Amino acid sequence: MKNLKATFGLTLFATVFLAAGFLNAQESFPEYSFKFKIRGLKDTVAYLGFHMGEKKYVRDTCRVNSKGEVEFTHLTRKGATDVLKGGIYLLVLPNMQWFEFVVAEPSLYIETDTTNFVESAVIKGSLENTLWFDYLRFVSKVQKKVQPMQAQLNAMDKEDPARKAMEATLKEENKVMVDYRRNAIAKYPKAFVSSIFRAMEEPEIPEGIMEKAQSKENENGPYWYLRTHYFDRFDLTDSRILRTPIFEPKLTYYFEKLLPQLSDSLVPEAISLIKKVEGNPEMFKFVVHSLTYMFERSNIMCMDKAFVQMVNLYYKTGRAVWLDTATLGKVVERARKLEPLLCKERVPNIILPDTGGVWHNLYAQNYDYTILYFWDATCGHCKKTTPKLEALYQDFLKPNRIGLFTVEGEVETKEWKKFIREHNLTFISVSDNPEIREKPEQVVPTKTDLSSLNFRNIYDLSSYPVVYVLDKDKTIIAKKLGVEQLQDFLEKRMELDKKGK
């Protein structure tokens, strides 16, 4: 029995060893009947939940009678499309404890006790759940043996001579569980539980590749083998795997840990995986959505390029059929705004005046590197970073002939001028002003352009400060850097450029 308030990490060890489905099992059920009898529970309600990736959702609610009996059922209605899809489901109790069962057959009966669900469980009408609970009992037995050994190992000094022996013992215990799973796979090769067990295993690197790696003949061979064969043991045609806690963590690990964190590496791998699942609409939706969101929320510099490429490939082309028109429009528009601001793109030009009315042209800045800095004199963070930027300008940028072009985003000019005066800012600082905004037709033909006057929207400025590092052609080579990171980045970049010449 598990507690919903526990973190996913605390429940993962148990849940990753689950199984679902059996010989010729269906993936969905328009009719089903799941009966439970739970000793120690009566006259209350229970909830039917399910996994979707790493999240859990509630699907239905039902009364528990005075005998502790509860049944979740659904009969086909004319024209009904609300089928139950296979996977790992949860029976959630009123005290927010829960246990899992496998949906792979249209009916099952489980009788158990609130004091020890796994040990007390009696399963009828579900061979898949019989296999599963047998395995859970086995895992529980191994855990009881392993936990004190693991605690002992954690307490050992790294140089303790007994450490290697303990590590070897724990490795053997892990092999016992691996062997259990492999025996199940051999005995029931078509069972969904076997599909889950296969998916849990890492690809086995052939001995020949390991030997070459050890002899340094092909040191990267094991990594490339693992990368190339990572999803080989997944049945990517079976969407039931989505309703387990197995697939999403594997997907995240592969794209965030195993692969180089570069958009040019990630997107081709994403395309390759999506091609393998595009015949299954539910798998296609999950993988496309998960990867697009993963790339969008990444804090890694220049990863927004991967997000834009995913949108252009799968959303802009109308393949994201699960989104309504309004939501799809927002996603596409977000990518459109980011596209001109991606790394390796030349930034849109800015031609605006400083506080003295002198006009400055970003493209006309003749430096090998230029810092483009957007700020706001009323922004709390900017009040701290902008004086630091002035110090950096005097101590490092200016002596190394690195340009600094700053654009102030405050709508009024009073605070902007005051801040420059109080902090003795000497670098270029430009912006528009109320007079220009009121009569753009008077300055656009002779001084600037509409793009420059619309810089807040063009550069997608929703907060400040924002930093770009540009090369001599005003192409973006870095962004999302803090002022305190600029010198280190530029020193390394200049060194690399020198070596490349």
Band the pLDDT of 1: cuts 50, 70, 90: very low
pLDDT score for 384: 94
Query: Domain check: are 479 and 379 in the same one?
Result: yes
pLDDT above 50 (res 76): yes
pLDDT score for 258: 93
Band the pLDDT of 194: cuts 50, 70, 90: confident
Could you tell me which residue, 221 or 45, shows the higher pLDDT? 45
Among 11-15, 73-77, 377-381, which is the least confidently predicted range? Answer: 11-15
DSSP E strands in 438-480: the ranges are 466-471, 476-479
Among 125-139, 289-303, 364-378, which is the least confidently predicted range? Answer: 125-139
The SS3 call for residue 53 is: coil
Mean pLDDT of the region 88-102: 90
Band the pLDDT of 385: cuts 50, 70, 90: very high
Provide the number of structural domains found in the chain.
3
**pTM, 2 dp:** 0.83
**Final residue belonging to a domain, choices 278, 313, 341:** 341
Q: Does 407 map to a domain? A: yes
Q: Does 300 map to a domain? A: yes
Could you tell me which residue, 404 or 22, shows the higher pLDDT? 404
Mean pLDDT of the region 282-300: 95
Contact 263, 305 (CB under 8 A): yes
pLDDT above 80 (res 137): yes
Query: Domain check: are 337 and 360 in the same one?
Result: no
53 dihedral zone (left: phi>0; alpha: psi -120 to 50; beta): left
Domain that holds residue 125: 2-136
Query: Domain check: are 289 and 405 in the same one?
Result: no
pLDDT score for 77: 53
Among 115-124, 128-137, 431-440, which is the least confidently predicted range? Answer: 431-440
Q: Does 355 map to a domain? A: yes
Query: Domain check: are 9 and 93 in the same one?
Result: yes
Which amino acid belongs to residue 278?
Answer: E
Residue 251, C-beta contacts closer than 8 angstroms, at least 6 positions apart = 287, 290, 291
| CA–CA separation, 239 and 246 (whole Å) | 12
The SS3 call for residue 62 is: strand
Q: Does 469 map to a domain? A: yes
Query: Domain check: are 358 and 486 in the same one?
Result: yes
The SS3 call for residue 207 is: helix
Among 124-128, 184-188, 318-322, which is the least confidently predicted range? Answer: 124-128
Band the pLDDT of 219: cuts 50, 70, 90: low
Query: Domain check: are 210 and 116 in the same one?
Result: no
Mean pLDDT of the region 361-389: 95
**Final residue belonging to a domain, choices 279, 313, 341:** 341
Instruction: Give me the long-range contacts of 203-207 (CB less than 8 A, separation at least 24).
Output: 203/229, 203/230, 203/232, 203/233
pLDDT above 80 (res 52): yes
Query: Domain check: are 30 and 94 in the same one?
Result: yes
| CA–CA separation, 47 and 58 (whole Å) | 7
Q: Does 154 map to a domain? A: no
Could you tell me which residue, 19 or 389, shows the higher pLDDT? 389
| CA–CA separation, 17 and 225 (whole Å) | 25
Could you tell me which residue, 47 or 208, shows the higher pLDDT? 47
Q: Does 216 map to a domain? A: yes
Q: Does 194 map to a domain? A: no
Contact 282, 242 (CB under 8 A): yes
Query: Domain check: are 223 and 290 in the same one?
Result: yes
Query: Domain check: are 479 and 435 in the same one?
Result: yes
Write the CATH number for 475. Answer: 3.40.30.10
Q: Does 485 map to a domain? A: yes
Cis ω for the linkage preceding 206 (within 30 of 0) = no
Query: Domain check: are 355 and 495 in the same one?
Result: yes
Query: Domain check: are 386 and 463 in the same one?
Result: yes
pLDDT above 90 (res 388): yes
pLDDT above 60 (res 80): no
Mean pLDDT of the region 152-179: 89
Of 24, 148, 141, 20, the residue nearest 89 (C-alpha): 20
Mean pLDDT of the chain: 88
Mean pLDDT of the region 252-270: 94
**Final residue belonging to a domain, choices 136, 164, 192:** 136
pLDDT above 80 (res 25): no
Query: Domain check: are 127 and 73 in the same one?
Result: yes
Mean pLDDT of the region 397-402: 95
**Percent of the chain with pLDDT strictly greater than 90:** 62
pLDDT score for 14: 26
Could you tell me which residue, 216 or 37, shows the higher pLDDT? 37
**Percent of the chain with pLDDT strictly greater than 70:** 92
Helices 127-155 and 163-187 cross at an angle (nearest 10°) of: 170
Band the pLDDT of 276: cuts 50, 70, 90: very high
Write the CATH number for 41. Answer: 2.60.40
Mean pLDDT of the region 82-109: 89
